[in-house]
Chains A and B, each alone.
Chain A
Amino acid sequence: MDFAVRFEDVCRYYGKVRALDKVSFEVTDGEFFSMLGPSGSGKTTSLRLIAGFENATAGKIFIHGQEARDVPPYERNVNTVFQDYALFPHMTVLENVTYGLKVKGVDRKTYTRRANEMLALVKLEDMPARRPGQLSGGQRQRIALARALINEPRVLLLDEPLGALDLKLRKQMQVELKALQRQLGITFIYVTHDQDEALSMSDRLAVFRDGRIEQIDTPAAIYETPASRFVADFVGNANVLGKSLAVALTGVSQACAIRPEKLFFASGNASPDEDLVTAPGKVIDVHYHGASSRFTVEVGGGHQLILIQPNDENSRAAALTPDQSCVIAWRRKDAHYFAT
């Protein structure tokens, strides 16, 4: 297997703060790899280490097999799309995009042609003479992308590139970024704190927490079989049942998590069997979300579980209002048990 980036026990300390603590992982060449985690979990630090803006306190980083420690950022075949885009305000769009080629001494004819190709790629051919200040957030984001991609990096680093965009534009750019990555076939390393984004775009993703990686896997595997409570909670919503509640409801003395969409309302006379768990409860709250509704249900004396049910006027859920009693159920195989 050809690795684009490899971390070997990488540590990064700021004074006494451990931003990264013995982190090891590999990013395969050509994959869309996301680093997901709350702020301060070490994901951006990892990205900055790959870009070369910072050096690891300990451990080794390899980029396409080469040890990166003594390679300054301007000699790495890696480019970054910054969170604030970091477009040069005193240059036009065209000057921004051609910057990378100009400083490498590429001749004018070539860089102009390449810039036009890049602007076409990000669908912004018609404004080369504008300044970044005259562009919208979405346009700036595309220019930042074009400015990075013109250098033909083997690895593209994206630091929460969609963070400043509104929801609709975000969704659209997610699709476009993914398509672009497939089209170009280069490695994308994508930092985000948005689990939706990470799940929908990545080939694989790493979930960071407190400077360590909790789990690395495909989006489906992370969602379906979270390695820890933290992952279950952070990636998607999860109803986490502590040990005592799990015993009371399922008879198994082990903490587990159940996705809200895996829970459903059963009829009043449903009884548990070997593949079904049922529990009586009381509806606390109902939130309407368009395609689905979100129910808060109290079970087992004060524990609240969340159910997300598709809105269907004929369903059992549609008839429920707050303060009504109900029976919730789930299939045993849908509960995910944690080792700890």
Chain B
Amino acid sequence: MVLNNEIIKEKLTAQFREQILAWEDSYGMLSVTVQNEINLKVLTFLHDETSLSFQFLTDLTGVHFPDRKGEELSVVYHLHNLVENVRMRMKIFAPIEKPDVYTATGLYSGANWMERETYDFYGVNFVGHPDLKRVLNVDEMDYFPMRKEFPLEDQTRIDKDDDMFGR
């Protein structure tokens, strides 16, 4: 059977109905936004349902939208069905005060470090992760540097000591 975006849409809608928040088709890739609490259920369904079998996790990452009140942090999954060669994207949004998201490490071993990276930079708390600690930054860091409230340094600043920073 040939798998296409319409079939994925149909199957997911039949299974999860109103828990699916949005559909999007960006540059040929189907993108689905689901409720924060059911991310693992949807991932498991996509993984286990034989006609879908998205068993390859291409990428997992976070995005911070400071303007979306109550759902500032987004986690984006890129999934791939290698047999049918279909890619899709799944997104969830979590509030920044309590960014609890279920971990995908049970399904994909590869999600381990990708989730650690997302935690490291965005502070998304992956519930159930076996070893959720920073992976690229120092352990003592007490903030999440990729969040938008940390702008890059102003390149025109002049109050720095030139001898030390070479500006």
Q: Do A and B bind each other?
A: no
Which chain B residues have a beta carbon within 8 Å of chain A's beta carbons? none
